[in-house]
C-alpha cells in the first residue's frame, strides 16, 4: 500500500515515552446524547501519555508522481502495518471489498509530532473488527478466531488523502473531534460507526487533524455469534463510492460547523444517509454549542498543495513481527513475495479496466463473491442480472439485448482504459492476459464452437428475422463500417453468431460501439448476433488480439464442474457453473494454481 499523497513532515528524534503496561487497556468515550453535563474523555494514562510523542506515517518514493498517486486507492488497511505479511489477508469492517486484494508493503515511514491525533483507533487482539464476509469464509462455524498483532508496532497517522475504516471498538475521540461522535441512524447498525468514521476523517483534514492507528490494547473474545450480512449492506454497496466522494469533496465555508453541515447535506443528496441524519447532525452541533464547546480553528487544506519530497535520511523503517496464527490461507514461504509481486503486476495492468459481468445464477449467493474474486484485479466489477438487486448493487438487464446497457457504463467510467465483458458461466484466468494488447479488440472469433457463421437458407425463421435486421443496420452504417463488415461477412445470406461469453472493448473503440448500438435503436437484434456484427464493423478480424483463442470451450458443462475441464494455462474456461458459496470455494481452490494468493479468500 502506498499513500495517496506524499508527506512533507521531516523525521524528528523520538523522545523517551512511558513504558506501556502489560495488561490490556480499555479506552473509549463517555458522552451524553442530550448534553446536560460536560463531555468526559476516558483513557488510561498508558495511552494518553503518548499523545504528543512522534507518530509514524507511511510514505511513497520521491519518484512517484502526483498523477500516479491519484490512481491509488484512498483506503488502506493499517492492520497490515501491525501484523506483517503472515496475516495480510485480514481486512477490517468497512474496507471496500474491491480493495481487499490491494496488497502493498510500506517499506519506510516518516515521523510527525503528536498532538493532532484527534481520533485514535486501537487494534483488537483475538477477534478484530472484521466484516461478515471475512468472518464466515475464513473458518468453520465452530472455530473461534484468535488473531494476534504486533504490540510493539509504531503508531501510524493517516495523511490527508488516505482513509482507514474507523469503528466504535477501542477508539478515542479527543475533544477537538467531539463533533464527530454523532452516529447516523438511517443506515444499518453495522454500517453506522464506519460511515461516521469516514465522514469524521474527511472533516479532520479541515482542522489539520489525524486519525492514528494504535497497536492492540484490548483482547476481544470470539463468541462464535456472527451477525448477518444484511446488517452490513450499506457498507458493501456504498462505501467505495463514499470514500471517492469524500476525497474529492471541497468546501468554501469559513467555520468548521458550517463545513460539517455542508458535508452532511451533500452526503444526504448522494444517498449515503438520509435527511434524518442531516437534522440529527444539526441538533448535535447545537447541543455542543449550548454547553460551551469551542469550534476548532480551520487549517488550510493540504490536499491540493504541492508537497515537498522526503529525503532518504528522514525515513524510518519498521518490519512487524510474524506471529503464529491459524486462518492464514497462505503458508509463510519464500514464494509469498513473488505471489504479492504478481498480484501487484496484474493490478497495474488491469487496474483501469472495468469488468462487466452478466449473472444467470442467483446473485444473492454469488455477487459479493464475484466482486471479491475479480475486484482484486480490475478497476471495478459491474454486475447485471435479469432482476435488479439494489442491496447488492446489481443492475437490471436482459441477456438478449444486454449490449444496449453498455453505453451507460462507458459514460459512467470515462477515465477507464477499457471494458471487459464476462458471463458468470465463464472463468477468466486473468494472469494469462498480461501479453494482450489493451488498445485492441478482444473476442474469441477463432474458437469455432463459440463463433460460427450461419446461412439463413434452410434455417429457422429466427435466423431470417435476425439477418433482415442486421441488413437494415448495415445499410445505415457509415461507409468504413460497411466496408469492414462486408469484407468479413461476404455472403449476404449469412450472419455471424457469437455466444458472447467474453469480449473486450478498448477506450478508442467506445465511440464506435455506442454509434452502432444507437443504429440498432428499437430493433430486437439478439446479443449473439449484435456483438459479432459490431466487432467486424469496427475493425478487421485480423487486427483483433488473439489472446482469447486459447480459451477452453465446451458446449455442454461437465458433471459437477469436473476439474478435468479446467486449465490454469488457458485464458478462459467455459462452461463453469457457480450458484452457491460452496461452488465458489471450489472454484477459488482450483484457480489458486494460477494465483496462489486466492487461497486467502477461502
CA angle (179, 180, 184) in 5-degree steps: 115
Q: Per-residue pLDDT tens for 287-327?
A: 999 999 999 999 988 877 766 555 544 556 555 555 444 44
Domains and CATH numbers, the chain: 28-221+234-309 (no CATH), 336-601 (3.90.550)
pLDDT band at residue 193 using 50, 70 and 90 as cut-offs:
very high
Q: What phi and psi, each to the nearest 5 degrees, are found at residue 109?
A: -135, 160
The average pLDDT across 137-150 equals 76
The span from the first CA to the last CA of the chain, in angstroms, equals 23
Distance CA 121, CA 239 (A): 19
Q: Per-residue pLDDT tens for 69-87?
A: 334 456 555 544 444 434 4
3-state secondary structure 433-473: CCCCCCCCCEECCCCCCCEEEEECCCCCHHHHHHHHHHHHH
Residue 253 predicted with pLDDT over 90 = yes
Q: Per-residue pLDDT tens for 333-379?
A: 444 556 777 887 898 899 899 999 999 988 988 898 899 899 889 99
- pTM for this prediction: 0.56
Compare 407 and 331 and report the one with higher pLDDT.
407
* Closest by Cα among 77, 114, 124 to 96: 77
pLDDT band at residue 457 using 50, 70 and 90 as cut-offs:
confident
pLDDT value, residue 234: 72
Distance CA 116, CA 566 (A): 54
pLDDT value, residue 217: 87
Compare 595 and 561 and report the one with higher pLDDT.
595
Compare 24 and 478 and report the one with higher pLDDT.
478
Which range among 184-193, 194-203, 217-226 shows the weakest confidence by mean pLDDT? 217-226
pLDDT, the chain, mean: 79
Amino acid at each position: 500500500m502506498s499513500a495517496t499523497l506524499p508527506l512533507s513532515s521531516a523525521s524528528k528524534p523520538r523522545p523517551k515515552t512511558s513504558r506501556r503496561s502489560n495488561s490490556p487497556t480499555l479506552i473509549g468515550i463517555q458522552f451524553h446524547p442530550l448534553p446536560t453535563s460536560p463531555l468526559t474523555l476516558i483513557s488510561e494514562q498508558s495511552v494518553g501519555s503518548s499523545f504528543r510523542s512522534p507518530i509514524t506515517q507511511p510514505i511513497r518514493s520521491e519518484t512517484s508522481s502526483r498523477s500516479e498517486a491519484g490512481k491509488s486507492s484512498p483506503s488502506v488497511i493499517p492492520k497490515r502495518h501491525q501484523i506483517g505479511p503472515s496475516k495480510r489477508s485480514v481486512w477490517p469492517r468497512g474496507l471496500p471489498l474491491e480493495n481487499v486484494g490491494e496488497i502493498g508493503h510500506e517499506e519506510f515511514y516518516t515521523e510527525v509530532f503528536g498532538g493532532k491525533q484527534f481520533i485514535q483507533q486501537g487494534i483488537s487482539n483475538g477477534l478484530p473488527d472484521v466484516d461478515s464476509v471475512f468472518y464466515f469464509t475464513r473458518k468453520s462455524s465452530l472455530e473461534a478466531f484468535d488473531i494476534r498483532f504486533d504490540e510493539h508496532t509504531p503508531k501510524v497517522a493517516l495523511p490527508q488523502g488516505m482513509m482507514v475504516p474507523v469503528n466504535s471498538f477501542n477508539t478515542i475521540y479527543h475533544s477537538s473531534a467531539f463533533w464527530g461522535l454523532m452516529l447516523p441512524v438511517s443506515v444499518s447498525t453495522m454500517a453506522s460507526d464506519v460511515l461516521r468514521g469516514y465522514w469524521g476523517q474527511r472533516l479532520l483534514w479541515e482542522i489539520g487533524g489525524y486519525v492514528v492507528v494504535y497497536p492492540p490494547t484490548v483482547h476481544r473474545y470470539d463468541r462464535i455469534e456472527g451477525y448477518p450480512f444484511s446488517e452490513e449492506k450499506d457498507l458493501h454497496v456504498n462505501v467505495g463510492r463514499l470514500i471517492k466522494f469524500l476525497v474529492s469533496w471541497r468546501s468554501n465555508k469559513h467555520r468548521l460547523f458550517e463545513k460539517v453541515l455542508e458535508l452532511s447535506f451533500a452526503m444526504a443528496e448522494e444517498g449515503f444517509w438520509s435527511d434524518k441524519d442531516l437534522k440529527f447532525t444539526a441538533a448535535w452541533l447545537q447541543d455542543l454549542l449550548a454547553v460551551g464547546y469551542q469550534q476548532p480553528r480551520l487549517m488550510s487544506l493540504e490536499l491540493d498543495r504541492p508537497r515537498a519530497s522526503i529525503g532518504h535520511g528522514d525515513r524510518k523503517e519498521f518490519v512487524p513481527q510474524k506471529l503464529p496464527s491459524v486462518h492464514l490461507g497462505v503458508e509463510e514461504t519464500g514464494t509469498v513475495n513473488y505471489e504479492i509481486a504478481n498480484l501487484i503486476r496484474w493490478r497495474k495492468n488491469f487496474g483501469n479496466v472495468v469488468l462487466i459481468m452478466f449473472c444467470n445464477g442467483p446473485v444473492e449467493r454469488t455477487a459479493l463473491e464475484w466482486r471479491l474474486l475479480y475486484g482484486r484485479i480490475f478497476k471495478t466489477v459491474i454486475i447485471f442480472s435479469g432482476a435488479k438487486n439494489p442491496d447488492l448493487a446489481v443492475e437490471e438487464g436482459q441477456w438478449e439485448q444486454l449490449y444496449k446497457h453498455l453505453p451507460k457504463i462507458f459514460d459512467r467510467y470515462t477515465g477507464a482504459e477499457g471494458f471487459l465483458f464476462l458471463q458468470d458461466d465463464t472463468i477468466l484466468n486473468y494472469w494469462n492476459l498480461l501479453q494482450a494488447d489493451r488498445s485492441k479488440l478482444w473476442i474469441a472469433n477463432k474458437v469455432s464452437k463459440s463463433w460460427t457463421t450461419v446461412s439463413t437458407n434452410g434455417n429457422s425463421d429466427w435466423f431470417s428475422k435476425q439477418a433482415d435486421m442486421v441488413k437494415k443496420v448495415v445499410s445505415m452504417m457509415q461507409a468504413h463500417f460497411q466496408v469492414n463488415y462486408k469484407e468479413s461477412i461476404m455472403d449476404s445470406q449469412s450472419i455471424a453468431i457469437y455466444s458472447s461469453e467474453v469480449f473486450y472493448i478498448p477506450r478508442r473503440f467506445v465511440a464506435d460501439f455506442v454509434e452502432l448500438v444507437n443504429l440498432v435503436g428499437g430493433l430486437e437484434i439478439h446479443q449473439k448476433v449484435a456483438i459479432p456484427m459490431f466487432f467486424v464493423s469496427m475493425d478487421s478480424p485480423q487486427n483483433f488480439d488473439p489472446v482469447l483463442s486459447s480459451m477452453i470451450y465446451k458446449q455442454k458443462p461437465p458433471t459437477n464442474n469436473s476439474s478435468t475441464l479446467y486449465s490454469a494455462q488457458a485464458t478462459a474456461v467455459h462452461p463453469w457453473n457457480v450458484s452457491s458459496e460452496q461452488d465458489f470455494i471450489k472454484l477459488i481452490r482450483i484457480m489458486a494454481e494460477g494465483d496462489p494468493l486466492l487461497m486467502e479468500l477461502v
